[in-house]
Structure 1
Amino acid sequence: MGLLTFSINVTLDGCIDHREGIADDETHAFFTRLMDEAGAMLWGRVTYEMMESYWPAVARGTVDAPPAIREWAVKLEAKPKYVVSSTRTAFPWTNSHHIADDLRTGVTRLKDATPDGVLLGSGMLATALDWLDLIDAYVFLVHPRIAGHGPTLYQSGLPGTRRLELMSATPLRSGVVAIHYRRAE
Structure 2
Amino acid sequence: MRTVTFGMNISLDGYCDHTIASPSEELMGYFTRMMDDVDLLFFGRVMYQLMFPYWADVAKDQSGTPDENRFAERLTAIDKVVVSRSLAFEEGNMRIIRSNPVAELLKLKQEPGKKISVDSISLLPELITAGLIDEFNLVIHPIMVGKGRRFLEAGSLQEKLNLKLIDTRIFKNGCVAHHYRKQ
Report the TM-score when normalising by structure 2.
0.93
| 1:65 alignment counterpart | 64
| 1:46 alignment counterpart | 46
Runs of 5+ consecutive residues of structure 1 not aligned to the other structure: none
Deviation at residue 121 of structure 1 after TM alignment: 1.6
**CA distance in structure 1 between the partners assigned to 2:98 and 2:111 by the alignment:** 15
Runs of 4+ aligned residues of structure 1 deviating over 4 Å after TM superposition are none
**CA distance in structure 1 between the partners assigned to 2:51 and 2:110 by the alignment:** 25
* RMSD after superposition: 1.5
Contact residue 40 and residue 114 of structure 1 kept, 8 A: no
Structure 1 residue 160 corresponds to structure 2 residue 148: no
Structure 1 residue 21 corresponds to structure 2 residue 1: no
Report the TM-score when normalising by structure 1.
0.92
SS at match of 1:41: strand
Runs of 5+ consecutive residues of structure 2 not aligned to the other structure: none
| 1:115 alignment counterpart | 113
**One-letter code of the match for 2:106?**
T
Q: How does 1:34-183 map to 2 (within 5 A)?
A: 34-61=34-61, 64-88=63-87, 90-92=89-91, 94-100=92-98, 102-155=100-153, 157-183=156-182
**One-letter code of the match for 2:157?**
L
**CA distance in structure 2 between the partners assigned to 1:35 and 1:115 by the alignment:** 13
Q: Give the number of equivalent residue pairs.
A: 182
Between structures 1 and 2, the one with greater strand share: 2
Q: Give % identity.
A: 30
Contact residue 16 and residue 151 of structure 1 kept, 8 A: yes
**CA distance in structure 1 between the partners assigned to 2:101 and 2:65 by the alignment:** 37
**CA distance in structure 1 between the partners assigned to 2:145 and 2:84 by the alignment:** 28
Contact residue 7 and residue 120 of structure 1 kept, 8 A: yes
